[in-house]
Copies of this chain bind each other. A is one copy, B any other.
Amino acid sequence: MSTPETLKKQTCTSHCPCGTYCPLSAALSLIGGKWKIPIICALKQDGPTRYNELKRKITGITNTMLASSLKELESNGLICRRQYDEMPVRVEYSLAGPAEDLIPVLSQFALWGKQMHDQAAPAARE
C-alpha cells in the first residue's frame, strides 16, 4: 500500500483557523470530488464489484473519472483492488477497513442532511 501523499501535507491549505494540520480538511479531501462518495456507496451496497459493473451502476461516470477516482481511493487505502489473472482479466474493487469505519460517520451526516431537508421545507413538499 503506497503512502497517501495528500494526507501528509494537508494543512487546511492554510485558510482554516484550526492550526497547521487539519484532520477535517484531510478527511474531506479523501472523499472529495464528484464521484468518490457514489463509488463508496456502490461498493458498500453490493460488495466486491468489477470495473465495468461499477461503470454501469454509477450513472454518468466516465472511464477517466472512474479510473482516476478508483486509483486515488486505493492509494489512500480506502478501497482494495484485487486482480484475477483469468482470461479475460477480472478486477474487483471492495471497501477497505478505513472506509468501513467511515460508513457510520457518513450515515450520521446523511441523517443530518435529511433533517435539514425535512425542517427546511415541511410544507413545500412536492
Contacts and interface: CB of A to CB of B under 8 A. Distances in A.
Interface of A: 3-4, 7-8, 10, 12-18, 21-28, 30, 34-35, 37-38, 41-42, 45, 57-61, 76-77, 98, 101-102, 105-106, 108-117, 119-121, 124, 126
A119 to B, nearest CB: 8
B23 A117 contact: yes
A12 B110 CA distance: 12
B108 A23 contact: no
B113 A101 contact: no
B109 A15 contact: no
A60 B24 contact: no
Given A110-B24, A120-B7, A59 B105 contact: no
Chain A to chain B: the 7 pairs with minimum beta-carbon distance, closest first:
A27-B113, A23-B113, A23-B114, A24-B110, A23-B110, A16-B38, A15-B60
A120 B38 contact: no
